[in-house]
Amino acid sequence: MSDGATHETGPQGTTPHGGALEDLLVVDLSRALAGPHAGMMLGDLGARVIKVEAPGNGDETRLWGPPFAEGDDGERYSTYFLSCNRNKESIALDLKSDDGRAVLRDLLARADILIENFRTGVMDRLGFGTAALAELNPRLIQMSITGFGHDGPEGGRAGYDQIVQGEAGLMSLTGSGPEDPQRVGTPIADLLGGIHGVVGVLAALHERERTGRGRVVRASLLSSIVGVHAFQGTRYTVAGETPQPQGNHHPSIAPYGLFRCRDGAVQISVGNERLWQAFCAEFGLDPATPGLASNPERVAHRSETIAFVEGAFAAHDAEDLLARLSTAGIPSGKVRTLEEVYAWDQVRSQGLVVDVDHATLGTISLPGPPIRFFDVDGTGETERAREAHQAPPTLDQHGDAIREWLRGDA
């Protein structure tokens, strides 16, 4: 909890909404995706998140589209913005003005966490550098997300997701082959940057319980991609191999990937020799076929392995194959469209779709938070998560109420 007054009477309601972080106040100065995603995660965990936006257009993603949804006020609302700003309040502040900086200073004096993703040096020019903020609020945790890191020879370089996917090597691993580099279909560098920033913040909150002081937490899109190179990274750093894209097949396990059948394709993962034996038994194949008897052999003869599997699948439709693979205990699945994903009972059962009441759009459905919490009360598990989700705010929707709260809390 911050040194300042609690925020139980803030604009979103008279009581906290529940969740593990319900006693924390977050000031979110970020825009686009990495920082806003981090702020939304903290809001999903119960924190009160106040999003500070520039007057006029606000966060630039409010203009990113189509697609847009039209509100009952005749305005168009970007579905991109809606994806990463739930559970937040919005106040518009001109940070080049004395009034805007004064309101921000009042917010930061009360805050537990600051999120910003300005280019290096911008916060200093605004008068809110790390040392100044530590003096204003010694318990404040300052989280900064940059494109390529805050220092180093390219520390001030602007970083957008696809650029970093390329620069950090991810596109060199993704695609049908070496001449076909592809970006990942979601802005994964931005999303991982936000996620890693939140991990750092949660560690700093734990440390603050011992020290009573805040901490500067830095994450970057570059570090977030390099940090998840996983086995592809050690292929180079240890084995000296430079990985290349291999389409929909795993570079170190076979058969593992997307395989064609009579009416489409299915995915299978044969991750060990027991599964290989079970797979071959189900389809009447010889597991000791020359060149395919072990995983290293199958990886070395990938084309032959693919042909071997697809030959067995050629006379079967996908649904029949999935049933047989399931019976045999082979991990398998299909490639779903997002329409199919959001209609899937399993997705709904995990709380991965939430309905919220938007100020002008009415009730809208959003992809839900990925984390759930449970209390064990002796009779079973009872889910304990945020009690209610708030729709992404319209620009300055809570500005007057936040200013009133600050005056009353002075």
Residues with a catalytic annotation lie at: 190
Q: Which residue has the tokens 């630039």?
A: 60
- Three-state DSSP class for residue 223: helix
Burial of 193 (0-12, 13-18, 19+ CB in 10 A): buried
Question: Whose CA is closest to 188, among 218, 164, 217, 158?
Answer: 164
Q: How many CA atoms lie within 13 A of 187 on its CB side?
A: 21
Let me know: does 62 contact 81? Beta carbons within 8 Å: yes
Do the strands 353-358 and 141-146 form a parallel or antiparallel pair, or are they unpaired? unpaired
d(CA 384, CA 233): 38
Give CA torsion, residues 255, 166, 185, 50, to 10 deg. 130
Question: Whose CA is closest to 160, among 148, 173, 174?
Answer: 148
Which two structure tokens, joined as six digits, stand for 306?
A: 């693919």
Residues 6 or more apart whose Cβ sits within 8 Å of residue 111: 2, 25, 26, 27, 137, 140
Question: Whose CA is closest to 28, among 118, 99, 94?
Answer: 118
Q: Cα angle at 392 between 386 and 397, to 5 degrees?
A: 115
- Three-state DSSP class for residue 170: helix
* 13-47 burial code (b ≥16 CB/10 A, e <16): eeebbebebbbbbbbbbbbbbbbbbbbbbbbbbbb
Let me know: does 270 contact 254? Beta carbons within 8 Å: yes
Name residue 118's amino acid: F
d(CA 24, CA 7): 8
Do the strands 353-358 and 362-367 form a parallel or antiparallel pair, or are they unpaired? antiparallel
